[in-house]
Chains A and B, each alone.
Chain A
């Protein structure tokens, strides 16, 4: 079965701290895609990144970076020098042919950044 686990329900940090959000996935597919979405307090869902299973290169975008490790089935997300505006719920998601055309989401991690 296809599954995404975000074990951290809630994380609180102080501004400028680095924080890593964990994501562990399960799938029998060899071809699959991993995603991260951000949901700020306003409620909309904002796409952050998509990674396919054949590309294990880590990615950096400004203060955001992603570490994809197939060996541990993990796709972790790190925010460097966190800011109050980073406060949001972050969702990791997985899609692959095993589960049809469905995007399976983790339960989400609430990140609170305090000033």
Chain B
């Protein structure tokens, strides 16, 4: 089954404790992206990757890091989480870049205390 898998789905952590949200897709997509969803703001792009070893900042990259060492994986790293990073996070992938349908993971709800 074609899917984008994120882990963990739910996480409560404390300020400053490094965490990684994993994302994996099995569709051989070149393009992957991370979004955060906050009430009233829709989804905002954090980082995206057009291919292996190619990543770029989205609209709200501060406080986040990503890596794309393999085509299927695109982890999101919060080196020192802060409460303003409490949000719902989505990973997505697509075959095309700005033309393709984005396939989303199920979301990861992160709470930073």
Task: Using CB atoms and an 8 Å cutoff, list the residues of chain A in contact with chain B.
Answer: 4, 6, 9, 33, 35, 43-45, 47, 50, 52, 91, 93, 95-97, 100-108
24 residue pairs of the A-B complex, CB under 8 angstroms, read: A6-B42, A33-B99, A35-B101, A43-B88, A43-B106, A44-B104, A44-B106, A45-B90, A45-B104, A47-B102, A50-B99, A93-B43, A96-B98, A97-B98, A100-B98, A101-B56, A101-B97, A101-B98, A102-B48, A103-B45, A103-B98, A104-B45, A105-B42, A105-B43
Q: Is the pair B58, A102 in contact by a Cβ cutoff of 8 Å?
A: yes
CA distance A5 to B104 in the complex (A): 22
Interface size on B, residues (CB 8 A): 26
Please give, as numbers and ranges, the residues of chain A lying within 8 Å of B50 by CB-CB distance. 101
Q: Is the pair B106, A103 in contact by a Cβ cutoff of 8 Å?
A: no
Does B74 interact with chain A (Cβ within 8 Å)?
no
CA distance A47 to B102 in the complex (A): 7
CB < 8 Å: which of B33, B43, B58, B103 contacts A91? B43
Does B68 interact with chain A (Cβ within 8 Å)?
no
A-B CB proximity, top 6 nearest:
A95-B98, A105-B42, A45-B104, A105-B43, A107-B42, A101-B97
CA distance A26 to B45 in the complex (A): 18
Please give, as numbers and ranges, the residues of chain A lying within 8 Å of B33 by CB-CB distance. 103
A93 nearest CB across to chain B (Å): 8
